Amino acid sequence: MPLTLAAFLVAIALLVAVHEWGHFAMARACGIKVLKFSIGFGPRVMGWTSKRSGTEYQIGLLPLGGFVKMLDEREAPVPDAELAFAFNRKPLASRAAVVAAGPVANLFLALLLYTCVNWMGVTEPEAIVSRPPADSIAAQAGFSGGERILQAGFLDDPLEDVASFEDVRWWLTRAALGSKALQLSFRPPHEATVRTVVLPLQSLDVTQADASMFNSIGFVSPYAPAKIGNLTPGGAAAEAGLLPEDRILQVDGLQIVDGAQLRDWIRHSGMHQLPAPQQWLVERAGQRLVIRVTPRQVHEADQTFGRVGAIVGGVPSMVQVRSGFWSGIRKAAEKTWEVSGLTLRMMGQILTGAASVRNLSGPITIADYAGRSAAMGLEQFMVFLALISISLGVLNLLPLPVLDGGHLMYYGWEGVTGRAVSEAWISGLQRVGLALLVGMMSIAIFNDISRLLS
């Protein structure tokens, strides 16, 4: 919990500071006087005032946001000597640049974070896939588990090298959400032959980008050997005589490919009836022996399944992924662009009803993922920050009143018609936008609580 809270506060403070700094820096560049720069809302916790510029810098009590207050005749009278520094007196292009600079700063932060991660390198699972579920797209395409993915690409596009399993997941995500067929070049286990297949992901009905999507595709997790880990005292595995590091070769004569297949077998054994005794062929210290194992039927969260009381599945084989100077920048730019596009497409699908509102996440889920990524190391925390920074940037560019994109929408109208949007219209639209934003946040928090209780 302390790590989760600390990671969440660091993430929010950094993302908000960068966003508001974008507005602040562009305002200063356009000759606009900034009265206050605040990280957080509510009562002032600490701060100072610059003697040179007169800008007040502060940290507010509520960390979920921030603001930049500029000199503006619409908010308070401005002395004649300072009229040239007022926001409302600046040209349309300057005002639009100031508004757009916040979201753009978040996108540049993501670019910087991705670049640093590429240069530093990150340890990820090798691009070897686990055994797919029997009715999945991958199983129908001929995958049986243990295949090493070498290259990937959309149909009719050149194939690109795949460095890790995370690369595979990224290709699958883009193809599924973009309704595109995906080509995969792979080498089957214990073979030198390279094969190529096409996964028809354009036909996949995707309403939620979650584990169920990858389960439908068939690539849920990287390959991990069917080994036994820590055992629960008194559990079925311990009572049967299984030991840590035992490798399971067969169950009732069925060849076991990997840990995912064994876990699936165990769970299904208790879904519809009490599990029957099973004959497990086990490899232990170079020797093979048969052990009789009877999984137990358990009931949790309205689900019934089998369990043996042990960690099932070994650690995936890992690889260090690192890029050179220019390739790291190029890959970071491509990732920022692609994630921005996917985020915008998903938001559009949510608004049109093509995607489930369950995709919306609020502060509880963000805090949870912040803690998890921080626990995994600096590189994973930086990747998490990049994803949230892109989401914040794209969200603020939406043409929704009260957001930066809403103000850009007003300026677009002014640029086309030559007339500013009236204060009456702005006031009405702001109320509508605020209601929509509160509604979205309410749904996001409801989703957070539902995930927490599930």
pLDDT at 246: 93
Residues 364 and 436 in one domain: yes
Share of the chain above pLDDT 90, in %: 45
**Which domain-ending residue is among 186, 204, 223?**
223
Residues 196 and 285 in one domain: no
Reduced to 3 states, what is the DSSP secondary structure of residue 47?
A: strand
Compute CA distances 19 → 66, 107, 224, 237, 272, whole Å.
Answer: 9, 9, 41, 53, 53
Indicate the pLDDT class of residue 351, thresholds 50, 70 and 90.
low
- Provide the β-strand partners of residue 62: 41
20 catalytic per annotation = yes
Residue 370 has pLDDT above 70, yes or no: no
Residue 363 DSSP code:
H
Residues 41 and 166 in one domain: no
Residue corresponding to tokens 């599924």 = 176
Residues 291 and 328 in one domain: no
The whole model's pTM is what? 0.81
Reduced to 3 states, what is the DSSP secondary structure of residue 101?
A: helix
Residue 77 has pLDDT above 80, yes or no: yes
Task: Give 3-state DSSP helix, strand, coil % of the chain, rounded to 5.
Answer: 50, 20, 30
Q: Note whether residue 12 is domain-resident.
A: yes
The contacts of residue 448 (CB under 8 Å, 6+ apart) are: 361, 362, 363, 364, 365
Segment 254-303, tens digit of pLDDT: 999 999 889 989 988 888 888 899 999 999 998 999 999 999 988 887 78
For the chain, how many structural domains are there in total?
Answer: 4
pLDDT at 140: 92
Q: Note whether residue 404 is domain-resident.
A: yes
- Rg of the Cα atoms in the chain: 27
Going by C-alpha positions, the residue among 256, 379, 374 that lies closest to residue 318 is: 379
Intra-chain end-to-end CA distance of the chain, in Å: 19
Residues 337 and 390 in one domain: yes
Average pLDDT rounded to a whole number, residues 383-397: 90
pLDDT at 178: 81
Segment 138-155, tens digit of pLDDT: 999 999 889 999 999 998
Residues 328 and 437 in one domain: yes
Residue corresponding to tokens 């090798």 = 126
pLDDT at 127: 94
Residues 356 and 440 in one domain: yes
**Which domain-ending residue is among 275, 291, 314?**
314
| CB contact burial 126-159 (16+ within 10 A = b; e otherwise) | bbbbbbbbeebbbbeeebbbbbbbbbbbbeeeee
Residues 329 and 452 in one domain: yes
Tokens of 237: 């595995």
128, 165 Cβ separation under 8 angstroms:
yes
Tokens of 113: 């974070």
Residues 16 and 82 in one domain: no
Q: What is the widest separation between alpha-carbon atoms in the chain? A: 92
User: 246 — phi, psi (to 5°)?
Assistant: -65, 135
Q: Note whether residue 175 is domain-resident.
A: yes
User: 250 — phi, psi (to 5°)?
Assistant: -145, 155
Average pLDDT, the chain: 86
Alpha helices in 141-290 (DSSP H): 165-177, 211-217, 236-240, 259-269
**Which domain-ending residue is among 292, 314, 336?**
314
Distance CA 263, CA 432 (A): 50
Q: Note whether residue 319 is domain-resident.
A: no
Burial of 273 (0-12, 13-18, 19+ CB in 10 A): exposed
Average pLDDT rounded to a whole number, residues 233-246: 92
Residues 139 and 184 in one domain: yes
Indicate the pLDDT class of residue 26, thresholds 50, 70 and 90.
very high
300: CATH? 2.30.42.10
Residues 21 and 38 in one domain: no
pLDDT at 290: 94
Q: Which domain holds residue 259?
A: 228-314
- Provide the β-strand partners of residue 278: 293
Residues 454 and 332 in one domain: yes
pLDDT at 93: 93
pLDDT at 447: 65
Reduced to 3 states, what is the DSSP secondary structure of residue 39?
A: strand
Q: Note whether residue 393 is domain-resident.
A: yes
69, 47 Cβ separation under 8 angstroms:
no
Q: Annotated catalytic residue: which of 20, 124, 147, 379?
A: 20
Tell me which long-range contacts 10-15 makes (C-beta under 8 A, separation of at least 24): 10/370, 11/366, 11/370, 11/384, 11/385, 11/388, 12/63, 12/64, 13/39, 13/63, 14/109, 14/385, 15/106, 15/109, 15/385, 15/388, 15/389, 15/392
Indicate the pLDDT class of residue 359, thresholds 50, 70 and 90.
low
Indicate the pLDDT class of residue 62, thresholds 50, 70 and 90.
confident
Segment 307-344, tens digit of pLDDT: 999 999 888 999 999 999 999 999 999 999 988 888 88
Reduced to 3 states, what is the DSSP secondary structure of residue 48?
A: strand
Indicate the pLDDT class of residue 454, thresholds 50, 70 and 90.
low
* Lowest-confidence segment of 168-177, 289-298, 368-377 by average pLDDT: 368-377
Segment 110-141, tens digit of pLDDT: 999 999 999 999 888 999 999 998 889 999 99
pLDDT at 114: 95
Pick the residue with more confidence: 375 or 160?
160
Q: What is the DSSP string of 389-435?
A: HHHHHHHHHSS-TTSHHHHHHHHHHHHHHSSPPPHHHHHHHHHHHHH
Parallel, antiparallel, or unpaired for β 296-300 and 182-187? Answer: unpaired
